[in-house]
Amino acid sequence: MFKLYSYFRSSASFRVRIALALKGLPYETVPVHLLRDGGQQFSDDYRALNPDALVPTLLDGDHALVQSMAIVEYLDETHPQPPLLPGNALDRAHVRGLAQSIACDIHPLNNLRVLKYLKHKLGVSDDAKDAWYRHWVEQGFASLETTLTRGGKAGRFCFGDTPTLADICLVPQVFNAQRFQVDLQAYPTIARIFDACMEEPAFQQAAPKAQPDAE
Ligand SMILES: N[C@@H](CCC(=O)N[C@@H](CS)C(=O)NCC(=O)O)C(=O)O
């Protein structure tokens, strides 16, 4: 069985949890508390698995897989049903583009270690740190909203009527945005797709509050 090193609130872990749930793959959760003990991701044992000291890590047998996007694509290649990417190259590029707008251009700027650096090393106030957070989410969501509304590719979900890698990235980012009081009214398509995703059992099972380490 897979082992997923995960933190309930981690959006990158959430992506992998959604993919596992969509594919109906059983796994054991190994909680890594990102704040407790100075951050359990920095322990020697965890760093031996994941030198980046970031969650998630997926153990498949003896193989420790890192980086949520690589893990999701690995799961998709090894367990093709239901597919998380479309069948033709142009559509795949579109879906990966949506996903990477979130995973590469929004999420890394707002990661815990970045926020900690702003606060503790650069002396930024909590208000300024939260403004930083919202700025990058709002800028990213504005362009994502535009991409989702043109070209007629979005359906019930980001691409068509079944969840893809794009939805897997979108939903955790919306959860994070809500924690930082980002107003979703400006992004009606994102809000609509988020609601559609959250009607799906796989997204519900993967949500932070459903995790064994939820607080
Ligand atoms: N690109 C990585 C990002 C992983 C990541 O940033 N994980 C966050 C939680 S969402 C983390 O472990 N943060 C710990 C820290 O910043 O110290 C991935 O997609 O797996």
Ligand 1 neighbourhood includes 177 CB (under 6 angstroms): no
Please answer whether residues 66 and 60 qualify as being in contact, where contact means their C-beta atoms are separated by less than 8 angstroms. Answer: no
d(C-alpha 97, C-alpha 100), whole Å: 5
Structure confidence at residue 29 (pLDDT): 98
In the block, tokens 């698995």 appear at 49
pLDDT along the chain (215 residues), means of 10: 97 98 98 96 97 98 97 98 97 97 96 95 95 95 96 95 98 95 94 98 98 96
d(C-alpha 39, C-alpha 97), whole Å: 32
Q: For residue 135, how far is its CA from the centre of ligand 1 (angstroms)?
A: 19
Q: Among 111, 165, 211, say which to mutate for ligand 1: greatest number of ligand atoms within 8 Å of CB.
A: 111
Nearest CA to ligand 1 atom 5: 54
Q: Which domains, ranges and CATH numbers included, belong to the chain?
A: 2-82 (3.40.30.10), 89-202 (1.20.1050.10)
Structure confidence at residue 151 (pLDDT): 82
Which residues face 172 on adjacent strands?
none
Q: Which DSSP state fits 123?
A: -
Q: Among 7, 16, 52, 54, say which to mutate for ligand 1: greatest number of ligand atoms within 8 Å of CB.
A: 54
Q: Which DSSP state fits 1?
A: -
